[in-house]
Amino acid sequence: MKVYWVLFIFVLSSFLCAQQSEESEVIKEARRLLRAKQYAKAVQVLEQAAYVGDAQAMSHLGSLYQYGNKKIQNDKKALLWHKKAANAGSPESMERLGEILRRGSLGVRQNPKKAFSWFEKSAQAGNPKAMNTLGDMQQTGEGTKTDNKKAVQWYKKSAELGYSSAMTSLGYMYENGKGVEKNPKKAFDLYIKAAELGDSSAMANLGYMYQNGNGVSKDPKKAAEYYTQAAENKNGNAMILLASMYERGEGVRKNIPEAIKYYKEAAELGDAYAMNSLGYINQFTLSQKNYKEAFKWYKKSATLGNGVAMINLGRMYQYGVGMKRNSRQAEKWLKKAVELKAPDAEVYWKEFKEGRK
């Protein structure tokens, strides 16, 4: 139910964020029906308008079939209406078609090149989200040639239209001198602006700048404050960095329970580094060691491909920490760590091999 509710909110937000200057009565009525959980009636209202050529209704109908109530979700219909809406001039559906092709969803084969083309069409129609995505793709060379200068141009256009993610991305480019002359002060100003608009990545980046004295005077206390804001907005990186500060007592009073709390929140988001950190705390930091819990977190992290967790897990098996020794499992995980070229993996692999002689 939690996942469904998130998707439902997404659909509602797409109605709220329509780019047209005037929202039609059809969309207002469909939105009212959605809030009243009258999903079938909302679809009926949108379909009636869509069949007579209302591009806005087509676009919202595509989103409703893509993200709505499980009884309504229909990948084929979502794709059909997004295509119709895009061809009728909807910037939102052009962007969504780009995202579908970029990710390879709704039964469509992944095609970054075609995705880039749809994002371009959406951006040319004035969609700031598409402009930001084009910046990302130009920066990484996804579906196009890598071009940091062009990435900066797209981020600037999107940021000028008030898109906070683009402000953060543009700040990153200035902070690191990618496609522009390095300018930490300009980066800081952009992060501030984006953070004020609620962008959690900007908050985390401000924390990082204060923590490391990059473009501003070093201030661990302010760093922790920004990480806290970002963590409260579900930013996984900020959760990890804040947990680490509580673990060490940097900018905040040392507090292992708080560190565990934030590592767990990041772990719930699927972060393997946080899982490994929880394993380490349970094995080494707590006054009452909890090897069973340490093993659990190392195993989860290692299964997600974290090389350091593979070493930690392998060594628990090797020395029988909180369990019986298991050379076969120790060999398996230490060998995987070596293959991943994890830090010091060769050292521990050598130690393991010599111990078997």
Label residue 12 exposed, middle or buried (CB < 10 Å: 0-12, 13-18, 19+): middle
The structural domain count of the chain equals 1
- DSSP labels, 269-326: TT-HHHHHHHHHIIIIISSS--HHHHHHHHHHHHHTT-HHHHHHHHHHHHHTTTS---
What is d(CA 98, CA 100) in angstroms, rounded to the nearest whole number? 5
CATH number of the domain residue 17 falls in = 1.25.40.10
Mean pLDDT by 10 residues, the chain (357 residues): 39 44 83 93 96 96 92 94 97 98 97 98 98 98 98 98 98 98 98 98 98 96 98 98 98 98 98 98 97 98 98 98 96 98 98 86
Judge whether 51 lies within some domain. yes
Judge whether 10 lies within some domain. yes
Give the residue among 100, 32, 89, 36 at the shortest CA–CA distance from 66: 100
3-state helix, strand, coil in the chain (%, to 5): 70, 0, 30
Judge whether 63 lies within some domain. yes
Q: What is the pLDDT of residue 357?
A: 60
Q: Which two tokens stand for residue 75?
A: 């990948």
Q: What is the pLDDT of residue 356?
A: 77
Judge whether 73 lies within some domain. yes
Judge whether 100 lies within some domain. yes
Judge whether 35 lies within some domain. yes
Residues 60/15, Cβ–Cβ less than 8 Å: yes
Q: What is the pLDDT of residue 282?
A: 98
- Give the global pTM: 0.88
Judge whether 317 lies within some domain. no
Letter string b/e over residues 64-85, b meaning 16 or more CB atoms within 10 A of that residue's CB: bbbbbbeebebeebbbbbbbbb
Percent of the chain with pLDDT over 70: 94
What is d(CA 5, CA 46) in angstroms, rounded to the nearest whole number? 21
Domain limits for position 50: 1-126
Judge whether 31 lies within some domain. yes
